[in-house]
Chains A and B, each alone.
Chain A
Amino acid sequence: AQSVTQPDIHITVSEGASLELRCNYSYGATPYLFWYVQSPGQGLQLLLKYFSGDTLVQGIKGFEAEFKRSQSSFNLRKPSVHWSDAAEYFCAVGDYKLSFGAGTTVTVRA
């Protein structure tokens, strides 16, 4: 069975500081991994995805994620956070059927 764990429910970060969101997955084969962002009242927007190849994946809005098979992790990072990055972030695993984590809410303080 496939599943995703996002250990941090809520993270607060200062504007300009770095951000790292953790994601651990369980999947029987080589996983397809995704990070989505959801702003209040909005749908989910794809930030980046990993299917194969280079384990460091670049996404939109300055985000990147690193796939580590040995740790079953796919952590999301951003070097310098902007106030507009305040949102909820979801990690997901799967092929045609995605399993989502419970999400991490990011608050950005001035």
Chain B
Amino acid sequence: EAGVAQSPRYKIIEKRQSVAFWCNPISGHATLYWYQQILGQGPKLLIQFQNNGVVDDSQLPKDRFSAERLKGVDSTLKIQPAKLEDSAVYLCASSLAGSSAFFGQGTRLTVV
């Protein structure tokens, strides 16, 4: 079974630039999550989708972050404009309803 796919693996941008991350969940998984993991901390949920609808985006900084899940499969997370404090690993995860989440390898973002 293929796992959660994320791209790119690494990204370096200058502050105030924009960046986008892509996630392809495990086939059949209706629930998709985006987490932010700052160095030395545990992952923090940014947004959760159920199919193509948003379940929870309470911790998403909506002035600069946006996410979409068109057709209820792939998802993209965008940051515009980026700040230095956005440097982190962005993890995508997916799950079946009521079951444990499977995580991708993440995208490491460095903002300089």
Residues A18-62 near B (CB distance < 8 A): 34, 36, 41-46, 49
Shortest distance from the beta carbon of B83 to any chain A beta carbon, whole Å: 22
Partner of B41, one of A34, A41, A44, A102: A102
> What are the residues of chain B within 8 A of A49 when measuring CB–CB?
100
> What are the residues of chain B within 8 A of A43 when measuring CB–CB?
4, 91, 93, 103-106
Q: Is B45 among interface residues, defined by CB-CB distance under 8 A?
A: yes
> What are the residues of chain A within 8 A of B41 when measuring CB–CB?
102-103
Partner of A44, one of B45, B48, B103: B103
Interface size on A, residues (CB 8 A): 19
Partner of B42, one of A42, A46, A102: A102
Q: Is B24 among interface residues, defined by CB-CB distance under 8 A?
A: no
Q: Given known contacts A44-B91, A90-B43, what 9 new A-B pairs fall within 8 Å (CB)?
A: A4-B42, A34-B100, A43-B106, A46-B100, A46-B102, A97-B45, A102-B40, A102-B41, A102-B42
- Residues on B close to A: CB < 8 A? 4, 31, 40-45, 48, 55-56, 91, 93, 100-106
- Residues on A close to B: CB < 8 A? 4, 34, 36, 41-46, 49, 90, 92, 96-98, 100-103
Is B100 a contact partner of A97 (Cβ separation < 8 A)? Answer: no
Is A45 a contact partner of B100 (Cβ separation < 8 A)? Answer: no
A36 to B102: give the CA distance in the assembly, Å.
10
Partner of A96, one of B42, B48, B103, B105: B48
6 contacts between A and B (CB under 8 A): A41-B105, A43-B4, A43-B106, A90-B42, A96-B48, A97-B48
A38 to B50: give the CA distance in the assembly, Å.
25
Is B44 a contact partner of A100 (Cβ separation < 8 A)? Answer: yes
Shortest distance from the beta carbon of B61 to any chain A beta carbon, whole Å: 17
A110 to B25: give the CA distance in the assembly, Å.
38
Shortest distance from the beta carbon of B46 to any chain A beta carbon, whole Å: 11
